[in-house]
Amino acid sequence: DQLKAFGREKQVKRARSREKLLDKMEVVEKPNYMKKRAKITFEPSVKSGKDVLKARGLSKSYGERCLFQNVDLDIYRGEKIALIGANGAGKSTLFNILLGVDKSFDGDIDFGTNVYPVYFDQERDDLQPDKTVLEEVWSTYPNFTETKVRNMLGAFLFTGDEVYKLIGTLSGGEKARISLLKLMLSDSNFLFLDEPTNHLDIESKEVLEDAITNYEGTVFVISHDRYFLNKVPDQILVLEDQSVKSYLGNYDYYIEKRAAEKAALEFANQSEDTTTKTQLKIQRKKDKEKEKEEKKLKKQITETEEAIHNTELEIENLNELLCLEEIYSNPEKVKEVTEQKSDKEKILHELMSTWEMLLEAQQD
């Protein structure tokens, strides 16, 4: 529908192509638990500064064995970062260093303004087994109304009479949902998660993924779950060869980038006799510039999508105003609100055009 709305031949052709693909797809019924899920954006009660964490020259060794050395990290508010690497590479050790649990390391760590980190563990013991689900959350945040608490619980699949279940009777996945919800509503705004999807059922996994995606705080996670790594993170950090390398994007992008790096290395080795050092230097510069442009384009797309979302909300609010008696019974107010709505719709159309052009540029 969005492609058709542009009215240009290229977009119309793409829309028809997608319609043909959709016509060939088998329509299946959604599972019941998917139908009752609610989307809620969780904003930490305390907002951190833009700079969340800065680490310089982190090094850790056990005797003669070096896990990593001279690791630099820059983490900013709202980022969803995944740390991956082989077993034994030092991922959990790096976590413990950043959390202040392990203090025997070299290097410096500085947290930003109003940053409150917390570690999410599925085996949490902070839940009271004799309380109901509703009581557990409400007693922690007594200033919330019952409606607000129920809405939050609904987003985590606790609806109807399920809010009266005793904590002691819940499954591991259900307890993990409650613990995560309490953390997201707390002052904590920097979540550390170590293999959060392990031993969770499908429902709990999907709730976890949606909640973290919609969480406006900062997330740093260790995971081997490829589906999770594709859906949640916007940056992959790879710990290997005693160093950390960053890839902007999800897990599939990381795999694609690594394959391209490997192919480039093989090509460079094969062409070493015929390719001059000057040519290699020029190529590296071009690759660096291209990566910089890709990062800039991705940021523009994200900002445009946020602007589209906010404008759509403003239009929706204006539509609700037009349904109020004090508005529709007053011609002058109707005219004023209608003009505001028209202006917002024009802005939305322009944003959609910009978004489409940015997507095309990204595909090119």
Report the range of poorest mean pLDDT among 173-177, 239-243, 264-268: 264-268
pLDDT of residue 109: 96
Helix H or strand E segment including 54 = strand 51-62
Report the range of poorest mean pLDDT among 81-90, 168-177, 337-346, 353-362: 353-362
Average pLDDT over residues 157-185: 88
pLDDT cut 90: percent of the chain above it: 40
- Is the pLDDT confidence value at 291 over 80? yes
pLDDT of residue 94: 94
Report the range of poorest mean pLDDT among 161-175, 260-274, 302-316: 260-274
CA distances from 272 to 82, 258, 263 (A): 35, 21, 14
pLDDT of residue 46: 86
Phi (first) and psi of residue 191, to 5 degrees:
-90, 130
Residue closest to 301 by CA, chosen among 351, 345, 349? 351
pLDDT of residue 329: 87
Report the range of poorest mean pLDDT among 122-126, 140-144, 212-216, 255-259: 122-126
Highest mean pLDDT among 33-37, 160-164, 275-279: 160-164
Residue closest to 42 by CA, chosen among 175, 174, 213, 207? 213
pLDDT of residue 246: 93
Average pLDDT over residues 103-132: 87
- Is the pLDDT confidence value at 356 over 90? no
Does pTM top 0.75 for this prediction?
Answer: no
